[in-house]
Amino acid sequence: MFDHRIYEQIERYLAGTMPAEEKAAFKALLLTDPRLADQVQEHRQVLQAMQHYGQRQQLRHKLNSIHTEMETGSKTVTSELTAWKVFFKKHAQTMAVAASVSLLSVFGTLWSVQQMKKPVQQQTARYIELRREVEKIKKEQRAIINGIASADAAAPAPRSARFSGTGFAISPDGYIVTSSHVIQGADSILIENKAGLKYKVTEVHRNTEYDLSILKVEDPAFAGFSKLPYTFKTASSDLGERVYTLGFPREDIVFGEGSLSSASGFEGDTTSYQISIPLNPGNSGGPLLDEKGNVIGVINGKQAGQEGAAFAVKSSYLLQMVSQMREREAGLAISLPQQNNLGGVSRTQQLKKLQDYIFVVKVYN
């Protein structure tokens, strides 16, 4: 019942070239006539398929001609490069593993060699300056205390010193000697003795070669120390002599005793003695005295990893330094003690007398 006129109508409808009223009528007809609607649907599909097919054929044709054109053209294909790429893709994982293994072994070897070297390093002589890092120790202690009883939170304490060492009076005029390394990098220096006397001091002379510094009390109210009970020995002391020191390796004054074990110091340093007194950080700058109460040296360090090998700068160098000072500043009031009050007194009595002239040197920075 359909003939080509209806087909023509459908085609015009699909192409959208139908006049408006005819289109409206056709649409109405489509609604009432499902067979016609099916027909239109089918028609559309076939036409689309055919057109697509045609386009596709054309495209294929085009591509084929491009292909032949390409083949007649340059035949050299860069297959070298792609072959390499395939090879890389195939082995990339293996290569990555190999690379990481080799890296790991290189650094592992370096590290383990380092580790093996460590004990050797410890055996080699090392010099330790005995200045005490106060903050560090305090912090550690606080950590322990907090661990025990964390209940009471510590109130903000006044700023404490960063480093500390020991120093002792060399003249009643307010001169004190200590090790240079103790007050290295100091902003301000405070000294305090067992009796609780506190003074602010400044460095007036330094000799880094001997590791000695001379400090002077700055306090205007300072009236001078009382007469010093000890003297300084100018001659060299003998091997085996009983010696002792007082110092501040902790908050309180600590006595240490031993003997003079060598007339030269670390690595043959002739400016110092080797002594067998157990010393700790904080002892630096303390006096080294012999049995008769003569100052024979100034404690300044010990050897790491070696038992009982501590060092003290010989007192003759201290005296040399004082005379240098005198030369530089004429009329300088620095009177060294001339009379020893400690000879023939028992050790405990000696210490009692000494105590007041030995100071903890607190360094702030």
Partner 1 sequence: MRKSLYETDEAIMEGIRNDDERALAHLYKLHFPMISHFIINNSGTDDEAKDIYQEGVIVFYEKIKSNSLELSCQIKTYLYSVCRRLWLKRLAEKGRYANRIEDSENYLSLEEDVPQHEENERQFGVMAEALDQLGEPCRTLLEDFYIRAQGMQDIVEKFGYTNTDTAKNQKYKCLQRLKKLFFTSYKPEV
The contact set with partner 1 (CB under 8 A) reads: 3-4, 7-8, 42-43, 45-47, 49-54, 56-57, 59-60, 62-64, 66-67, 69-70, 77-79, 82-83, 85-86, 89-90
Specify whether the CB–CB gap between 250 and 267 falls below 8 A. no
For 341, the 3-state DSSP assignment is coil
- The four Cα atoms 15, 20, 21, 27 give a dihedral, to 10 degrees, of 50
Nearer to partner 1, 62 or 117 (CB): 62
What minimum distance in Å lies between the beta carbon of 4 and partner 1?
3
Nearer to partner 1, 51 or 324 (CB): 51
The Cα 26–Cα 19 span in angstroms is 10
The Cα 318–Cα 172 span in angstroms is 16
Nearer to partner 1, 2 or 111 (CB): 2
* 21, two tokens: 């009223």
What minimum distance in Å lies between the beta carbon of 13 and partner 1?
15
Nearer to partner 1, 5 or 118 (CB): 5
Nearer to partner 1, 62 or 242 (CB): 62
Specify whether the CB–CB gap between 276 and 308 falls below 8 A. yes
Residue 150, class by beta-carbon neighbours within 10 Å (0-12 exposed, 13-18 middle, 19+ buried)?
exposed
- What is the distance, to the nearest Å, from the Cα of residue 282 to the centroid of all Cα atoms in its chain? 23
The Cα 343–Cα 290 span in angstroms is 10
What minimum distance in Å lies between the beta carbon of 94 and partner 1?
15
Specify whether the CB–CB gap between 129 and 319 falls below 8 A. no
What minimum distance in Å lies between the beta carbon of 49 and partner 1?
5
Nearer to partner 1, 50 or 333 (CB): 50
What minimum distance in Å lies between the beta carbon of 46 and partner 1?
5
Residue 116, class by beta-carbon neighbours within 10 Å (0-12 exposed, 13-18 middle, 19+ buried)?
exposed
What minimum distance in Å lies between the beta carbon of 81 and partner 1?
9
Residue corresponding to tokens 């404690």: 299
Handedness of CA 345, 346, 350, 352 (dihedral sign): negative
What minimum distance in Å lies between the beta carbon of 87 and partner 1?
9
What minimum distance in Å lies between the beta carbon of 30 and partner 1?
18
Nearer to partner 1, 59 or 97 (CB): 59
Nearer to partner 1, 58 or 141 (CB): 58
The Cα 234–Cα 214 span in angstroms is 18
